[in-house]
Amino acid sequence: MMEDLEKVKKEIEELREKIRYHNYRYYVLDSPEITDEEYDALFRRLLELEERYPMFKSPDSPTQRIGAPPKKEFKQVRHEIIMYSLQDARNEDELKEFDKRVKRLLSMPSDENVEYLVEPKFDGLSCEITYMNGILTVASTRGDGFVGEDVTENVKTIRSVPLRLFTENPPPKLVVRGEVLMKKKDFEKLNKLLSDQGEKTFANPRNASAGSLRQLDPKITAQRKLDFVAWGVGALEGISFERQSEILNTLEKFGFKSSKPRKKANGIDEVIEFYHYMENSRDNIEYELDGIVVKVNDLKLWPRLGETSRTPRYMIAGKFSPKRAETVLKDVMFSVGRTGIVTPVAILEPVYVGGVIVQRATLHNFDEVKRLGIKIGDRVIVQRAGDVIPEIVSPIKEKRTGKEKDIIPPSHCPVCGSVLVKENVYLRCVNMSCPAKLKGALKHFAQRKAMDIQGLGEKLADMLVDKGLVKDIADIYYLRKKDLLRLPGFAEKSASNLIQGIEDSKKRPLARFIYALGIPNVGEFTAQVLVKHFKTLENIKNAGMEDLLKIEGFGPEIARSIYEFFKDKNNLETLHKMFEQGVEPIQEEDVPTESPIKGKFFVFTGTLSSMSREEAKKIVEGMGGIVKNSVSRKVDFVVVGKDPGSKYQKAKELQIKILNEDEFLQLIGKKNEAI
């Protein structure tokens, strides 16, 4: 009997090795040696033996890629070594400036060449995977660079990720860093499937990758064809490297795909040559790229070059020019957000821009419409800002026929018909019962960082308002299972789960509750500061303007927003209705109030796509930062939008930290929500 078990164990081990090898051939090298039928036969035999002899099951077995139960939430994982973001170079000149800075910091002669390794900059989701003694143990997202989310079970479903390293002598610890991606062809197939099923599609492969990796149910992730490309390492034990090129070569031997095509460049001229080659050939690469990454190849030089607070000085991202296309502006619709701001949205003749069909583009506000001088019927140039957000660059005025029509700002809300109010460059609907505002407010209230009501997303929020089941936010606490069972897509279990999710949300930290209310100018950090200062909701409700202005970083705009919100009778009635149903926010003892930008000086130049400069200023000041009008050596950050002015050049001359819009939003803890 013992001899039979030994035979079984040996067969299981041999099957695992064969399947690992053929997975590597198929998913990493794209060069299979056996047919799908032969592979399936091996896999079925392994499953059969592991089920019959469970004592031989192993976490690194190919059969364990899928099968973990759904999670309720993602746990946090702290990175041992910070996962930095990269500074951007937008053209040849900025790449040359990077080279000059490297040489200056290393005290090298200007005519001497630095050896660089140049790799593609994949447009995906950064991820870190830890191997202990060769076995995959933990995988996490980049998060804020310090702390990410535990996505171990989901990463295990990615076939190009080895569960066990391909080496007989694995290091005690190896932390592999790379990008979770989706091939362009797989992205198109996924969107077609979602569209056929009547579900919301993804805007681009990056969003599809991020949305698929962050599924609470690994089985859903497994159905999406995700890929992983390694580009570096984190913490190490028992192994060391001298060059970045050596890291990538070793990771390939361990069973990973690594950054390709790549080039070892002798000096910045060869870097620039490869930069142009990659920009011209990116459409032929199976993944979406938004640039190149230039790394000093000699790792001994990295500590000498060091890092800033957010970016390493030994590498830089060379960003490609945005992809552009010509199309027709067919019409303009007016979208109403949760704060009531009316945004003009361009309806376009569908056009491919960078491999994605673009049918809409934001026009930001009516001042931007006037600046562009755009008309309905114009032929226009469209680009994807950062290769993601569609926007109109300009009309082609010489192609006008005379039939084009002016874009007239609406005088009344397109959803509820209320008179619109002009606020700076925006038009705003002030009707609290406006269905568009209510839908947005519901989505905001239920989101994970607010009240975290699982299952209450965009689709359901729209349905609840359209069906008249929710007329203000408090009405969600009056929903009953029988109400939900009358809605399409709901069964006994899903209705029970949502009701339980609503019940669970009744006791959330007070700061999250304040944030969830959607008070204008009050984000997560401002809500935390507010709670830290006043302690209780009652104190916040009773605070006067003078009390609010005493809080460091609170200007008149923020103070007025809070004061007016809690003096509004409708808002107080909504709160009363919630409390009647048992909503009881919890006062946490230690509310974190450290702001990453407290005391820092900012200057803005150019046009931001996700907000106005005035809004950005309010956010910075609300987080304890200071906004200046001119660039000097005292300035910490210069935030650069579209068409920057002379402040950008001066910031470069003074070597002040320059942030693009995405980096700025990341710094203040926001996402780019532009259309």
What's the pLDDT tens digit per position in 389-409?
Answer: 688 889 999 999 999 999 999
Give the phi and the psi of residue 144 in degrees, each rounded to 5.
-95, 10
Nearest to 216 by CA among 344, 104, 69, 80: 69
Q: What percent of the chain has pLDDT over 70?
A: 93
Which residues are catalytic, by number? 121
Nearest to 652 by CA among 635, 664, 629, 669: 635
Name residues whose C-beta falls within 8 Å of residue 231's C-beta, 6 or more positions apart in sequence: 119, 122, 177, 178, 179, 248, 258, 259, 293
- CATH 1.10.150.20 region(s) of the chain? 435-521+557-579
According to DSSP, the β-strands at 405-406 and 375-376 are antiparallel
**For position 673, what pLDDT does the model report?**
43
**What is the predicted pLDDT for the residue at 660?**
87
CB atoms within 10 A of CB 278: 22
What is the model's pTM?
A: 0.54
Residue extent(s) of CATH 2.40.50.140 domains in the chain: 324-426
Greatest mean pLDDT among 25-34, 491-500, 515-524 lies in 491-500
Domain with CATH 1.10.287.610 in the chain: 2-65
CATH 3.30.470.30 in the chain is located at 93-319
pLDDT tens readout for residues 307-361: 876 789 999 999 887 778 899 999 999 988 877 889 899 999 998 776 678 898 8
CATH of 324-426, one of 3.40.50.620, 3.40.50.970, 2.40.50.140, 3.40.228.10: 2.40.50.140
Distance from C-alpha of 457 to C-alpha of 203, rounded to nearest angstrom: 17
The architecture in CATH of the region 2-65 reads: Orthogonal Bundle (1.10)
According to CATH, the superfamily of the domain at 601-667 is BRCT domain (3.40.50.10190)
Among 341, 358, 347, residue whose Cα is nearest residue 436: 341
**Higher-pLDDT residue of 482, 24:** 482
The DSSP bridge pattern shows strands 76-78 and 147-149 to be: antiparallel
Among 452, 488, 443, CA closest to 216 = 452
Q: Which helix (H) or strand (E) holds 579?
A: helix 569-580
Across 526-553, b (16+ Cβ under 10 Å) vs e yields bbbbbbebbeebeebbebeeebbeebeb
Asked if 188 contacts 205 with a C-beta cutoff of 8 angstroms, the reply is no
- Superfamily of the domain at 93-319: DNA ligase/mRNA capping enzyme (3.30.470.30)
What is the DSSP pairing of strand 626-627 with strand 601-605? Answer: parallel
Going from the C-alpha of 647 to that of each of 87, 432, 602, 615, 653, the distances in angstroms are: 18, 40, 12, 19, 10
Residue keyed to tokens 């995700």: 226
Q: What are phi and psi of 201, to 5 degrees?
A: -90, 170
* Distance in angstroms (rounded) separating the CA atoms of residues 72 and 308: 37
CATH number of 435-521+557-579: 1.10.150.20
Q: Does residue 54 have a cis bond before it (omega within 30 degrees)?
A: no
pLDDT tens across 411-434, in order?
A: 999 988 888 888 777 888 877 678
| Position 675 pLDDT exceeds 50 | no
